[in-house]
Amino acid sequence: MFANPAFIIALPTMNLQWQHRPFVEFVHANDCSSVSAVLANFDPHTTPISFACRLQGFNETANWYLWTFYARITGYIHAVGKDITPYKEMEAKEVERNIFAEALLDTVLAINSSLALNQVLERILSNVGKVVAYEYVCILLVDADEVEVVGLQNGRQLSDDMRQLKGRRFLIRENHYLQQMFQSRESFIIPEIEQPPAWIVASEIARTGSFLGSPIIVDDQVIGFLCVFNSKKEFFTLLHAQQLITLANQAGIAINNARLYEQAQSAAVLRERQRMAQELHDAVNQDLFAASTYADLLPKAIEQKPHAVADYALKISKLVRSAVDQMRMILIELQPDTLTTTGLEVLLQQLCDVLSRQISVPIKFTANTKLILKEKAQIAIYRIAQEALHNINKHAGATHVEITLLVSHDDLTLTIKDNGLGFEQDKITEVQFGVRGMKERAHSINAELLLQSQIGLGTKIILRIQNYDDYKTHPHHSRRRSPSGTSSAG
């Protein structure tokens, strides 16, 4: 199939000397194989065939045509071509918009799906590639007058030099690109880089190309920058800049949420340390002070009250053991791994042992299971039991306490019962006795928490988890094991 004068006219860059050249010579290189296959299978005796391909003159342009080939009785082939370039461009833009929308949606989902800053940063970096092609992309977060490289990604595998960039800090005022974005609060395009930024120079990427950057803004404050580099000059367009700044705005929300979560976690750790310090002061310090007082009285008792010596010695022993037990529990809590790698029934048994010796009240603990739950559930149940026992110690005036940890079918139930003073449930507020905290912990693991109490009849707390198999990690074997599989303290 060869070009005729009409075909040459359709391509204004051609001239008549290109007549009688094979049709495939005008087909774009990327479409040659598919067009050749269509023409090779063309049968003049069958219905017409249609296909689309790009045709190019001898310049850099290439237009899309939809061709229909008809066989003529004369043996010639009649071809009708329609320029569909505008439709293809619209289609390409639609695909680009869909990809951008997907990247934007994924970044928005990152705001709610993860509160770990590292995971949020990785997700943002992975979505930049859906918005614009790059050789290198990085996220810089502002800290006073500096920025820190907190995330980076390469089109290839990161080299050791590039990995070392993470954590590096640069002064904003010493970098024209950052200063420009910081002051204008707009995206920034450099069609051809003359002097690459330090975080590009330090990497092993080609040092010539184009740069696109966007400030990350939250509450009208620039908290960071999203910077992209491509080795092709004049690669980035205004559309790229608009899409990147839209992505950066959503990324800013995700980063800010992750930071707030980290601050909340730090505040929770600080509150926990303050609680432990208070326990050291209120309980351990008091026990040791009382033991010291009895120890000071012993010499006089030996001379003046020999009959009281045994009683003093017993009290000293009891107080010291109580202090040691409480110190042991505090040390356990200072090592978070212990709470998540020790059997739940062992942790509850230790809580019972400490309180039993501290208040001289028998505590019966029973468990028909030995298990370690997933971290969140394990810690939540431990803290609820700890708060309940703390309330019994401070407010209940109980003479007997029972705690059971039972597994029945698919349910896990923790019951804490005392015969203390009790209270009127309709008159207690949730901030009293740590009730709100216990309910929040139960809610965080989708557990049910019931509180039952009557004046003079004590209090019962029931924590129930349905389908607890979803919370299990692995079975374990405790060193302390009775033939019946239960244990008790008192």
pLDDT at 475 over 70: no
Higher pLDDT, 72 or 477: 72
Count how many domains the chain has: 3
Which of these three, 215, 233, 262, is where a domain ends? 262
Question: 324 in a domain, yes or no?
Answer: no
Chain segment 301-356, per-residue pLDDT in tens: 787 888 878 888 888 887 787 777 767 666 666 555 667 778 888 888 888 887 77
Chain segment 302-316, per-residue pLDDT in tens: 878 888 788 888 888
Same domain, 257 and 184: yes
Same domain, 79 and 173: no
Same domain, 50 and 197: no
Same domain, 237 and 358: no
Residue numbers of the domain that contains 417: 341-490
Question: 316 in a domain, yes or no?
Answer: no
CATH of residue 470's domain is 3.30.565.10
Same domain, 77 and 100: no
Which of these three, 13, 48, 83, is where a domain ends? 83
Question: 302 in a domain, yes or no?
Answer: no
Q: Average pLDDT for residues 284-300, to the nearest whole number? A: 78
Q: How far is CA 166 from the centre of its chain?
A: 19
Question: 25 in a domain, yes or no?
Answer: yes
| pTM (two decimals) | 0.41
Question: 267 in a domain, yes or no?
Answer: no
User: CA 268, 271, 276: angle at the middle one, nearest 5?
Assistant: 125
Question: 321 in a domain, yes or no?
Answer: no
Same domain, 59 and 112: no
Question: 205 in a domain, yes or no?
Answer: yes
Distance between CA atoms of 287 and 408, rounded to whole angstroms? 40
Distance between CA atoms of 214 and 244, rounded to whole angstroms? 7
CATH of residue 189's domain is 3.30.450.40
Question: Within 10 A of 187 (CB to CB), how many other CB atoms are there?
Answer: 21
Same domain, 444 and 349: yes
Same domain, 70 and 210: no
What is the DSSP-derived secondary structure letter of residue 14?
-
Which of these three, 209, 236, 262, is where a domain ends? 262
pLDDT at 180 over 70: yes
Same domain, 144 and 185: yes
Same domain, 54 and 198: no
Find where tokens 């934007």 sit.
104
Q: Are strands 411-418 and 401-408 parallel, antiparallel or unpaired?
A: antiparallel
Region label for 459, one of left (φ > 0), alpha (ψ between -120 and 50) or beta (otherwise): beta
Residue 481: the pLDDT is 37
Same domain, 9 and 130: no
Residue 114: the pLDDT is 53
Chain segment 28-49, per-residue pLDDT in tens: 888 888 888 888 877 777 767 8
Same domain, 426 and 442: yes
**Share in percent of the chain as helix, strand, coil (round to 5):** 50, 25, 25
Question: 239 in a domain, yes or no?
Answer: yes
